[in-house]
Amino acid sequence: MKNFLFKLYLDFIKLILRWTPTNENLYVILNGSGRSGSNGYIFYKYLKSSHPEIEAVLVEPWPSSHLSWQTWKKIAAAKYIFTTHQPFKIKRKQICTDFWHGIPLKRMGFMAANDSYQNDLHNMKIWQSKADRVVSSSALYDTLMSACVGIEGKKYVKTGFPRIDALYKPVISKKQLLQSLFKVNDEIGKIGIYMPTFRFELNDKKIMNKIEEGNFFAFSDFDGEEFNKELQRLHHYLIIKLHPYEMKLFKATEQQYSNIIFLENNYLEKNNLDLYELLGSTDYLMTDFSSIYFDYLHLNKPIIFITNYLEKYEKIRGLLITPYQNVVPGTVVTNQSELLDQITSLNPRDFESKRNYWLKLSYTVSSQDNCKRNFDTLN
* pTM greater than the 0.85 cutoff: yes
Q: What is the pLDDT of residue 211?
A: 81
Q: Are 132 and 96 in contact (CB under 8 A)?
A: yes
Sign of the CA dihedral running 57, 60, 64, 65: negative
> Class assignment of domain 2-160+368-376?
alpha beta
DSSP codes, 126-158: HHHHH-SEEE-S-HHHHHHHHHHH---GGGEE-
Q: What is the pLDDT of residue 254?
A: 57
Q: For 66, which DSSP code?
A: -
Q: What is the pLDDT of residue 1?
A: 52
Q: How far is CA 154 from CA 131, 146, 363, 379, in A?
A: 11, 11, 18, 16
Q: Are 216 and 171 in contact (CB under 8 A)?
A: no
What residues does CATH 3.40.50.12580 cover in the chain?
Answer: 166-362
CATH fourth-level superfamily of 166-362: CDP-glycerol glycerophosphotransferase, C-terminal domain (3.40.50.12580)
pLDDT in tens, the chain (379 residues): 557 777 888 888 888 888 899 999 999 999 999 999 999 999 999 999 999 999 999 999 998 888 999 999 999 999 999 999 999 999 999 999 999 999 999 999 999 988 889 999 999 999 999 999 999 999 999 999 999 999 999 999 999 999 999 999 999 999 999 999 999 999 999 999 999 887 766 677 888 888 888 888 989 999 999 999 999 999 999 999 987 777 777 664 556 899 999 998 889 999 999 999 999 999 999 999 888 999 999 999 999 999 988 888 888 889 999 999 999 999 999 999 999 999 999 999 999 999 999 999 999 999 999 999 999 999 7
Q: Which of 279, 284, 252, 283 has the alpha carbon at shortest distance from 263?
A: 279
Q: What is the pLDDT of residue 2?
A: 57
What residues does CATH 3.40.50.11820 cover in the chain?
Answer: 2-160+368-376
What's the start-to-end Cα distance of the chain, in Å? 40
Q: What is the pLDDT of residue 250?
A: 66
Provide CB contacts within 8 A for 198, sequence distance 6+.
Answer: 243, 245, 246
3-state secondary structure of 231: helix
